Amino acid sequence: MQQNDDHLYTFGLLDEDAKREIRRSLLKAVAIPGHQVPFASRDLPIARGWGTGGLQITLAIITPEDTLKVIDQGDDAGVNAVNLRRLITQTTGVATTVATSEASLIQTRHRIPEEPLRADQILVLQVPMVDPLRWVEPNLERATVMHGEADYGRMWVYMYESVVRAGDLRIASQYPVMVNGRYMMDTTPIPRWDVPRLDMAEALFLFGAGREKRIYAVPPHTSVVPLQFEDYPFRTEYQAGQRCVRCGAENTFLTSHFVAGPADGGQWVTSCSDTNFCDQRLGAGEVQP
């Protein structure tokens, strides 16, 4: 990997024209919350589908003064997070942190940090599927017209059918939401748990889809309402009595994993997917044994 001081690569890897184009698309995305803005999406030395959309946004807006945090599944040490952080720091030299509160710029895959974000923070989400209408209308030309006319009837029918067939709104992640009362938006594969935290938030949320070549945004203080029915309201994954086996938190998103025991034994446990949140609670002595 070349350092940026040998002039082979610019600060932030991408050429200045590419960064400018992305920033223009970002401005448009912020101005029209939830609307998908096309952008050229340059090739990167990272495989498509591995975070190239988020990465392009991060590289386009990062400044030398930024403090960067990169997480995957809520975990700073996830292999993909480590890899993307390596590329960003090697091409920018910016400071990094694992502490959510210390970061000015956070790139994430599949999670929003548990700790509420502030107005001076930006969360960049990596997006695999841009369009919530994909499940009912895979043809982009027709889906674009549907968005233009706010014609979301077929999506409501899809939701209704999932209730009839499965007894629930059968969408686990990338739950569809209405943004600012106008555009239906894919929340990317964040769990339902994270969806309410997009609503009227302090921070700016930027969504980048590299392979699909789209950018969209949820600016601060914007209403984000999940699709739901009066008799089948939106519910998160929260289960009464849930608890992190490490820090004892009872109000976080948990993931299951196997803890090996002596000999061949072991057991399945659940713990906070946001590792920094969990570690901070442990460090601050908030553990409830």
Q: Does 45 sit near other proteins (CB under 8 A)?
A: yes
Lookup result for tokens 């960064």: 19
Integer Cα distance of 77 and 84 in angstroms? 11
Tell me, yes or no, if 247 is annotated catalytic.
Answer: yes
Least Å from the CB of residue 258 to other proteins: 5
Q: Does 74 participate in catalysis according to the annotation?
A: no
Distance CA 30, CA 220 (A): 9
Among 65, 120, 256, 285, indicate the residue that binds other proteins (CB under 8 A): 256
Strand, helix or coil for residue 204:
strand
Instruction: Give 214's contacts (C-beta < 8 A, 6+ positions apart).
Output: 36, 37, 38, 39, 53, 127, 130
- Binder of other proteins out of 18, 61, 106, 158 (CB under 8 A): 158
Q: What is the DSSP string of 207-241?
A: EEETTTTEEEEE-TT--EEE---SSS----S--TT
Catalytic residue among 12, 34, 54, 210: 34
Does the protein bind other proteins through residue 259 (CB under 8 A)?
yes
User: Does the footprint of other proteins cover residue 46 (CB under 8 A)?
Assistant: yes
CA 154 to chain centre: 26
Residue 136 to residues 139, 147, 155, 158, 159, Cα–Cα distance (Å): 9, 13, 6, 7, 10
- Assess whether 12 carries a catalytic annotation: no
Nearer to other proteins, 17 or 161 (CB): 161
| 129 lies in the site for other proteins, by CB under 8 A | yes
Binding characters for other proteins, 178-217, by CB under 8 A (x = yes): ----------------------------------------
Report residue 161: phi and psi, to 5°. Answer: -65, -35
* Residues with catalytic roles: 34, 244, 247, 272, 278
Contact residues toward other proteins (CB under 8 A) are 1-2, 44-47, 50, 73, 75, 79-80, 82-83, 86-87, 129, 131, 134-136, 138, 158, 161-162, 165-166, 170, 172, 255-260, 266
